[in-house]
Structure 1
Amino acid sequence: MKIAFSPCPNDTFVFHAWAHGCIPGAPELDITYADIDVTNGLAASGKGPDVLKISYAALPWVLDEYALIPCGGALGRGCGPLVLTAGDKSAAGSGSDTAATAPSMLSGRRVAVPSERSTAYLLFRLWAAQAVPGGVGEIVVMPFDQIMPAVRDGQVDAGLVIHEARFTYPAYGLTLMRDLGSWWEDDTGLPIPLGAIIARRSLDLAAIANWTRQSVQYAWAHPEASREYVMSHAQEMSPEVTDAHINLYVNRYTESLGEDGYAAVTALLSRAAREGLVPEIDPSLLR
């Protein structure tokens, strides 16, 4: 079975057991490791593999061909993207805004984002519609690992960051303007839908969900079994950052979306559709 997911620690942790033949009856995996922006494109092309990890933001373009698998993905609380600037952080976290942390400073400015088909981007646009007078200026798409250096070096005015950047941005001397996960949770009371596992509708979807769920459960039951595999793909992350990444993004929603999870996905995509950011979807196609 052909599958594509990112080399990020949460994905390799989740799929280690299946990838290494630890799930009875599960087919052998032919794995492509790719950034989620690449897997989004593979799914939309119609020529993607059997199973993929994509952004929830990309779902509206692929639901005719692919079904959402209700486990294995990344959805949770306290794990959202961050808006960062290079300004003075003396008031960051103090409950007041400096010029560097006031959303109004983004009016007409350049903001770097990792993709325009990502949950991070949807959350940013939904937040900016409320918080940035007149809207932001130019959106600059760049690989996520280049965003923090670009903000630090003044190439852009702010950056939208994801993944392990939550833990490493202080090393770049950057300032947190807004945690968009916290904003989303405060605004909706729902968890944040980040990455989804999808499979071709022509396949045995119940079996794929079962094998994926067993792989998640195996990972939790044998956390050291995947260590070498995870670290070999961890892009020079420290073991401490790798563990923090897994602990944040692999949670009860990874084992089962549940009603909260489905509600979060529906809320995100329906709000984004109203803003003209994604096509409208038929919510029945999510289940």
Structure 2
Amino acid sequence: MKIAYSPCPNDTFVFHAWAHGLIPDAPKLEVTYADIDVTNNLATKPNDLDILKISYAALPWVLSEYALLPCGGALGRGCGPLVLTKDEIKGASVLSGRKVAVPSERSTAYLLFRLWAAQNIPGGVGEIIVMPFHEIMPAVRDGIIDAGLVIHEARFTYQQYNLNLLQDLGSWWEEDTNLPIPLGAIIARRSLDLSAITKWIRSSVEYAWANPKDSQEYILCHAQEMSKDVAQAHINLYVNEFTKNLGEEGYEAIFSLLSRAADEGLVPKFDLNALRL
């Protein structure tokens, strides 16, 4: 079975057991490691992948072929994307007409940014540039761009680049909706046995929690020079009860994000019932 997910610690932690043949009766996995912008685009084109990790924001484009699985993804509180600048500035209006880098045009981070910017930046920002997420902070530091929208472990490391936090979009979303933030989704082809895949992913999550040391070497091997402490902080933040089961609160957060985005014309309108198995 072919799967694509990122080399980030939360994904390698979740899928370690399955990828290493530790889940009874689960088929062997052939893993492709790819940045979220790559998987968001892969899911919309002909490919031979059975399972992918994508942004929740990309779901409206892929639901005819793929189903959202109720486990394995990233959704939570206090884990949202950040808007960073080189200089310490106050007020979102300073970004009016400026150059901003984002990790993917169909990322949840960018969707949250657009919803926030519509309320807070008169006239909107200037140029939007898509960059791999690990290149964004150096570009802000070096003055190549005016601001950067960052995700993942950047929450723990942006101070190392002498950058300043302009806005925590997760905090903005939680205050606005009182709901967790839907970030990364796991999808699988509708033609497959979705209940079995869900079971195998949940078993992989449970194995990871029960045997956290087993996955350390695998995680750090793919963590792009991340320290062990930062990798663990990343896992602690992004792997939580929603990773095992979205539940009603998780689905409500997803419905809220995507219905609001559809109403604003930021994603195609679609049948929200297609989000459930």
Indicate the residue corresponding to 1:51 in structure 2.
51
Query: Which aligned runs of 4 or more in structure 1 are off by greater than 4 angstroms?
Result: none
Query: What is the match of residue 145 of structure 2?
Result: 156
- Give, in whole Å, the separation in 1 of the partners of 2:119 and 2:19: 43
For structure 2, the residue ranges without an aligned partner over 5 or more in a row are none
Alignment partner of 1:72: what SS? Answer: coil
- Partner of 1:15, secondary structure, is helix
Which letter does structure 2 place at the counterpart of 1:108? G
- Between the aligned residues of both structures, percent identity stands at 74
TM-aligned CA deviation for residue 46 of structure 1: 3.0
1:168 aligns with 2:157: yes
Maintained 8 Å contact 1:14/1:72: yes
- Structure 1 residue 139, shift from structure 2 partner: 0.8
* CA distance, structure 1, for counterparts of residue 130 and residue 178 of structure 2: 29
SS of the residue 1:226 aligns to:
helix
Q: TM-score, normalised by structure 1?
A: 0.95
Aligned position for 1:62: 62
Q: TM-score, normalised by structure 2?
A: 0.98
Alignment of 1:1-287 (within 5 A): 1-88=1-88, 100-287=89-276
1:46 and 1:250 mapped to 2: Cα distance? 30
Q: How far does residue 274 in structure 1 lie from its aligned partner after superposition?
A: 1.6
**Contact in 1 for aligned 2:36/2:104 (Cα 8 Å):** no
SS in 2 for 1:225: helix
Q: Deviations over 1:6-59 (max 9, x none)?
A: 111000000011111111111110111111111111110032400110111110
Count of residue correspondences: 276
SS of corresponding position for 2:4: strand
- CA drift of 1:101 comes to 2.5
Kept after mapping to 2: 8 A contact 1:101/1:175:
no
- The CA distance in 2 between the partners of 1:116 and 1:26, in whole Å, is 34
Structure 1: runs of 5+ lacking an equivalent: 89-99
Cα RMSD (Å) of the superposition? 0.8
Amino acid in structure 1 at the alignment position of 2:116: W
The alignment partner of 1:63 has SS state of coil
